[in-house]
Every structure is written in C-alpha cells, then in structure tokens.
C-alpha cells in the first residue's frame, strides 16, 4: 500500500511489487493531492526510437486529461517526453 503522506509531490516512481501498474505518483495541484497509477507492467517505454515516440505522442494526444496532473495520461506522456 502506498503511504501518501511520505511521498513527495509530482515525483513519479516505480510501484511496489504485486501492483497492477508500473509507476505511481502523488499528484499535487491547487492544494489537492491524489495518488495516480499508470503504465503497463508488461510493456517498456521505447522513447529513444523516434517512430515509436512520434506514434505514441500522436495517439495519446487526443485522450482526455493530457494537461490534468490528476490523470494517468498526463504522467504517461511525461514519461515519453511528449
């Protein structure tokens, strides 16, 4: 279980073993906090391959929440450097 009080704001980290997601972050914005889990544990990010990065960024750009810190899409796009 994630202890929200001990996590720093807006610093993604690997989720603990047994989690259904790869990463976890405590998103903080406007005095509110929320734990956001994102990323498939079975897939790796290949942002150093230009074609894959371009495709992912284009595909995820139309998903709701690309500018909302409380969405998984926001943090996934940051991991990909979109």
CA distance 7 to 2: 8
Residue span of the structural domain in which 28 resides: 4-79
CA distance 7 to 53: 29
User: Does position 2 have pLDDT exceeding 80, yes or no?
Assistant: no
Measured CA to CA in angstroms, residue 37 lies from 13, 14, 45, 51 at distances of 10, 10, 16, 26
Residues 26-81: tens digit of each pLDDT: 999 999 999 999 999 999 999 999 999 999 999 998 888 888 999 999 999 999 99
Predicted TM-score (pTM) of this structure: 0.89
Q: How many domains does the chain have?
A: 1
């Amino acid at each position: 279980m994630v202890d929200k009080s001990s996590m720093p704001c807006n610093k993604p980290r690997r989720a603990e073993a047994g989690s259904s997601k790869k990463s976890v972050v405590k998103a903080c914005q406007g005095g509110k906090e929320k734990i956001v889990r994102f990323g498939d544990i079975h897939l790796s990010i290949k942002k150093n391959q230009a074609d894959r990065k371009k495709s992912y960024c284009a595909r995820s750009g139309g998903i709701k929440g690309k500018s909302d810190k409380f969405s998984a899409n926001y943090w996934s796009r940051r991991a990909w450097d979109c």
